[in-house]
A and B are shown apart, each in its own frame.
Chain A
Amino acid sequence: MLDILLERFNYIPIILLMMTGLYVVFATGNLVKRLVGLSLFQTSVFLLYITMAKVFGGQPPIIAEAHGEDHAVAAAGHGAAAAEAVLYSNPLPHVLILTAIVVGVATLAVGLALVVRIREAYGSIEDDALNTADYSRDTGAAG
């Protein structure tokens, strides 16, 4: 058990963040706090992907090119570099996570814009007040 935990230690903060975020989402009555919980939950997913990309003993996935040298030297340099295999960390999850981060930022922006409009329309951002306002008079009258 202990060696599994030590080997896969990256999953511990991931799971902690994920569960904390989800708990905040359904336990809080405040709309902004709910969005914060959602952001926590999404952050755990970023951690999941990035820690998955790590290769122990791997270089950062950046190819050092020889610029400004003439073609012969550059070709020889390339040939020599290609002869010894270099271990790189996986760059694909990094790109996936960039996309996911952008999605998370956009979601947060739309959510906060909705909270601002809800605050202007209802006067409150607490769940209880919103529920009473919406459902205590279910005649469908516009607010």
Chain B
Amino acid sequence: MDILAHLLPAGIAAHASVLLVVIPLILAPIAALMPSGRIAWAISLLAAILVALLALVLLGEVSQDGVVSYHLGGWAPPLGIEYRVDALNIPILLLVGFVGLLCTIYALPSVADEIEPGKQPMFYSAFLVCFTGLLGVTITGDAFNVFVFLEITSLSTYTLVAMGGGKDRRALTASYNYLILGTIGATFFVIGVGFLYMATGTLNMVDIARVLAENGHTRVTEAAFAFIVVGLGLKAAMFPLHVWLPNAYAFAPNFVTAFLASTATKVAFYILIRFLFSIFHPDVSFVAASFTWIFAVLGTVGMIVASAQAIFQTDPRRLLAYSSVAQVGYMMLGLGMGTKAGLSAGLLHLMNHAMMKGALFMALGAFALKFGVRSISSLNGLGRTMPVAASAFTIAGLSLVGVPLTVGFTSKWYLILAALDRDWWWAVAALIGSSLLALVYVGRMLMAIWMEAPPAHHGKAVAKTRAPWAVVMPMSILALANVYFFFNADPLVHLANAAAEAVMGGR
């Protein structure tokens, strides 16, 4: 771990926290001015590689020092804005960085196929702005800065989702509905931050926690808590605030769905944890009550209802989008347990789900590139015609169900263990029940892929074809990661445990 901290010269490594956000931000307008999509893609790739490198350096520094704090503008907190990396947000930074890198590699043929050439530079620029926003939300230590970066992410996401309108005009209404709901959520969040500022007089997260611990809670801070939970719950697609997600993921370009499904809701979940544990302490009565009565209950209901809704979908991307809502339910259940084991299991599932859904959406994108995917029947027989993509889809699909030998089993196992620790038998039943439901909808798609007749052209089966290497490579890496991290689960489990330890402090 220590060699990671020395990957870059000390002069640059000292500023790694801010360079992580500034590099995609600077490259975004440069990409917008480029004449062709390929050059803009190359700039995005450069940004993704540098961000992944800086995330590794930060991992090394956090392992050594525990907390990396960077004062923007030289102004010391609580007066200045602070970028703060500790054990909780370093896994998220690594996730966003590496998934961003893999998705950017994937983007080259996918975007060339789905977005018209004149718009591609702007598209990559919007992607880089979204990337900046996600990294900024994760790394900042100032409550209002979270709102700024959250809106940067959201606005570019609305644009990215609407770009799918070239192929399917329903992307436009999906993006519009997402805009309305997302803006309401962000505004609720900023109302909550306003109430917190009114009550504490500071915006720095560590300082707010200190003032709240000293002065106790009033009705203002309870109202702030309510607004913040609703606002962030909407961004994280917590049931019942998830209605924007199925359409937005179903009709966006494939690259956008693969990227967002792996990062956007995860970052919102992280900032929810940060507010719940680091700012509002879980010992406070209304916070502890919210764990049991809001997060655990809504998580469980979301698990079952969203999985059931997924079974009835005909469009595979919409099906996987409902499945994402169900997986967020798992994470909320892990959060709602209020114990270190539960939180660690939730964070482990967060990382694993990113790998699963990333691979699934990338595989669907590979199918769409070659054959076009409209409904589950479009997947018929693709197991024989596109074996590599179909295998990746199968591995990731089995991981989604939680079959042993895949990483999905690991995170469900830890969730069940944490639920048993708490004597929550109903949670265990819900976890197993929703896994069975997942088996139904994943099984439908797998049956279509492997057991139906392959696509035929004038009665003759189409020859075996493979998606371009830029699609196959990241898809295979993510799919194989599902299996690899089952056998070598220690790094992820260690990261999740360290994160839970950092915020709960040995309780």
Contacts and interface: CB of A to CB of B under 8 A. Distances in A.
- Determine direct contact between A and B, CB below 8 Å: yes
Interface of A: 22, 25, 31, 34-35, 38, 41-42, 45, 48-49, 52, 92-93, 96, 99-100, 103, 106-107, 110-111, 114-115, 117-118, 121-122, 130, 134, 138-143
A138 B385 CA distance: 27
Contacts of A34: 180
| B interface: dominant SS | helix
Contacts of A52: 194, 197-198
Given A93-B197, A134-B173, A138-B314, A143 B158 contact: no
Contact of B144 (A45, A48, A96, A115): A96
A110 B144 contact: no
Interface residues of B, number: 33
Nearest to A99: B148
B168 A25 contact: no
A107 B179 contact: yes
Q: Which 9 A-B pairs have the closest CB atoms?
A: A143-B169, A140-B374, A121-B169, A103-B151, A114-B176, A142-B168, A118-B172, A107-B183, A117-B172
B495 to A, nearest CB: 33
B162 A117 contact: yes
B159 interface: yes
Given A52-B198, A107-B183, A139-B375, A122 B169 contact: yes
A143 B176 contact: no
Nearest to B193: A96
Interface string B154-194: 01001100100101111011011001100110110011001
B155 A110 contact: yes
Contacts of A99: 144, 148
24 contacts: A31-B176, A41-B184, A42-B187, A48-B194, A52-B197, A52-B198, A92-B203, A93-B194, A96-B144, A99-B144, A99-B148, A103-B151, A106-B155, A110-B158, A111-B179, A114-B175, A117-B172, A121-B172, A122-B169, A134-B170, A134-B173, A139-B375, A142-B168, A143-B168
A25 B184 contact: yes
Contacts of B173: 118, 122, 130, 134
Given A52-B198, A103-B147, A114-B162, 13 more contacts: A34-B180, A38-B180, A45-B187, A45-B190, A49-B194, A99-B148, A100-B190, A103-B186, A107-B183, A111-B180, A114-B179, A121-B169, A142-B167
Nearest to A125: B176
B194 A38 contact: no
A22 B375 CA distance: 36
Contacts of B147: 100, 103
A52 to B, nearest CB: 6
Contacts of B179: 107, 110-111, 114
Interface in B342-371: none
A138 B170 CA distance: 11
A99 B146 CA distance: 12
Contacts of A117: 162, 165, 172
Nearest to A143: B169
A107 B251 CA distance: 21
A114 to B, nearest CB: 5
B315 interface: yes
A31 B179 CA distance: 12
A38 B184 contact: yes
A96 B186 CA distance: 14
Contacts of A103: 147-148, 151, 155, 186
Contacts of B194: 45, 48-49, 52, 93
A118 B177 CA distance: 12
Contacts of A48: 191, 194
Contacts of B159: 110
Contacts of A140: 168, 314-315, 374-375
Contacts of B180: 25, 34-35, 38, 111
Interface string B443-474: 00000000000000000000000000000000
Contacts of A49: 194
